[in-house]
Amino acid sequence: MRYLTSGESHGPQLTAIIEGLPAGMPLVDSDINEELSRRQKGHGRGRRMQIEKDTVNITSGVRHGYTLGSPVCLAVENNDWKHWTKIMGAEPLNEDELAEMKRVISRPRPGHADLNGALKYGHRDMRNVLERSSARETTVRVAAGSVAKKLLSLLGIKITSHVREIGGISADIKEYPPIDEMMKISEASPVRCLDENAGQKMMNLIDEAKQNGDSIGGIVEVIVEGMPPGVGSYVHYDRKLDAKLASAIVSINAFKGVEFGIGFQAARKPGSEVHDEIAWNETDGYYRKSNNLGGFEGGMTTGMPIVVRGVMKPIPTLYKPLQSVDIETKEPFTASIERSDSCAVPAAAVVAEHAVAWELASALMSQFYADRFETLLETVEMQRTYAREF
Ligand code: EPS
């Protein structure tokens, strides 16, 4: 399976085209819209989220509630487009119109794609960069991921996300609640935090950052239950599934790092305290007595829950901007101010969930390839039985 996205933040629409889905999989627009609205929530979002109410238009590949096996096109309109038709339109502008358009950006924001993107593509107006590098694009990554999530859920695989840390405040989680419970608690929290007390402190810190014209980052965690063991491969570097997940996480706007299970702590412990002992029983087959490795050994799923975390840096658009240089005059200036969010970590958790869902569904489709969804259901079930009895 593969997908492409297109669209600028203030252009007419965002689009994802998914290719390689099996035919006969149930899919309706509410499967996608519910996920889109989860991404729009979260304490710390800016005014743009009041303008947008993201909903999908499925324009191909689905008929009467089932996939056809042909490419699925998902389109999400930008409501804000109506204010940007001239500035972002595809039609050429004459000299006067160009001069009138006082929105040319020549002062790159430190930490953003502005300067590198402008020099790479030769853009003197950095709007040409920021419109596409904007995290608005994650809307359609979630749309594509929600189709993958639907495929996983029909195979009995559950996935959720929550926020572990914002601006240095950590959730105190002694033991994970069952996954359905975890979904409910994180959904009810404005910062997707499982620890109510820490969640309140996170919100206060976000408000403080906003007042100071600053931004804050954090750590999100995605948890998956029900993946059959043996998905991915150890035989070649580009078939390792944990590596694909790591790439998907770091590709999310503003993400700088990734960890599985106990992650970087593994460097500080002896092997006897890191590796998960193996056991077997009739109902579950092989399982691990702990899950320090977060569901992966040798680039393959172990059948234990997948636990993957991503670290998000603070958003680089600051209302109290940092020093930069004007690319026209080469003079020092403070960076340009753009409307933005003071913290988007809760929304980023939802994005990470969908990035992970995509990689898992795609790995299942390449390992248990099926043209018909029914066949996929059967082969994944066969793998579970085989692994249990192995
Ligand atoms: C973003 C800037 C803001 C955010 C946007 C990401 O948009 P605007 O410039 O229109 O105010 O709200 O995020 C979204 C629009 C979204 O859907 O997540 C940026 O520069 O990355």
Residues of the chain with pLDDT > 90, as a percent, come to 93
Say whether 313 counts as a known binding-site residue: yes
Q: Whose C-alpha lies nearest to ligand 1, atom 17? A: 136
Q: Is 298 annotated as a binding residue?
A: yes
Q: What ipTM was predicted for this assembly?
A: 0.94
39 in Cβ contact with 14 (< 8 Å): no
For residues 103 and 99, give the distance between their C-alpha atoms in angstroms, rounded to a whole number.
9
The residue whose CB lies within 8 Å of the most ligand 1 atoms, and thus the one to mutate among 9, 131, 140, 350, is 9
The atom of ligand 1 lying closest to the CA of 47 is 11
Average pLDDT over residues 79-87: 94
SS3 331: coil
Report the C-alpha gap between 162 and 184 in whole angstroms: 11
The answer on whether 134 is annotated among ligand-binding residues is yes
Q: Helices marked H in 2-113 — which ranges?
A: 29-40, 48-51, 85-88, 95-100
- In this structure, what DSSP letter does residue 135 have? G
Greater confidence, 156 or 337? Answer: 156
Q: What is the pLDDT of residue 180?
A: 98
- Predicted pLDDT of residue 98: 83
Residue 327: in which H helix or E strand, if any?
Answer: none
Would the pTM of this model clear 0.90, i.e. be above it?
yes
Per-residue pLDDT at 101 exceeds 80: no
Alpha-carbon distance of 222 to 350, in angstroms, equals 9
Q: Is the CB of 103 under 6 A from ligand 1?
A: no
* SS3 category, 281: strand
Q: In this predicted structure, what is the pLDDT of residue 340?
A: 83
Full set of structural domains in the chain with CATH: 2-389 (3.60.150.10)
Confidence band (pLDDT; 50, 70, 90) for 210?
Answer: very high
pLDDT for the residue 315: 95
For residue range 151-201, what is the model confidence (pLDDT) as tens digits? 999 999 999 999 999 999 999 999 999 999 999 999 999 999 999 999 999
**Looking at 51-65, 324-338, 374-388, which range is the least confident one?**
324-338
Helix axes 29-40, 138-154, angle to 10 degrees: 130
Are residues 161 and 221 in contact, defined by beta-carbon separation less than 8 angstroms?
yes
pLDDT > 70: what percent of the chain?
100
Q: Are 221 and 162 in contact (CB under 8 A)?
A: yes
Q: Is 388 annotated as a binding residue?
A: no
> pLDDT tens across 261-316, in order?
999 999 999 999 999 999 999 999 999 999 999 999 999 999 999 999 999 999 99
Q: Residue with the nearest Cα to atom 15 of ligand 1?
A: 136
pLDDT for residue 7:
98
Is the per-residue pLDDT at 386 higher than 90?
A: yes
For residue 335, is pLDDT > 80? no
Q: How confident is the model at residue 104 (pLDDT cuts 50, 70, 90)?
A: confident
What pLDDT score was predicted for residue 218? 98
Averaged pLDDT, 310-327: 93
Q: How confident is the model at residue 337 (pLDDT cuts 50, 70, 90)?
A: confident
Question: Is the distance from CB of 301 to CB of 243 less than 8 angstroms?
Answer: no
Closest CA to 228 of 33, 360, 51: 360
Nearest CA to ligand 1 atom 5: 136
Strand duo 13-19 + 278-281: pairing: unpaired
Indicate which residue's Cα is closest to atom 11 of ligand 1.
Answer: 339
* Ligand 1 contacts CB of residue 291 (under 6 A): no
Structure tokens given for 336: 């340009």
Centre of ligand 1 from the C-alpha of residue 317, in Å: 10
Residue 103's pLDDT is what?
Answer: 73
Mean pLDDT for the chain overall: 96
What pLDDT is recorded for position 198? 98
Place 385 in a pLDDT band, splitting at 50, 70 and 90: very high
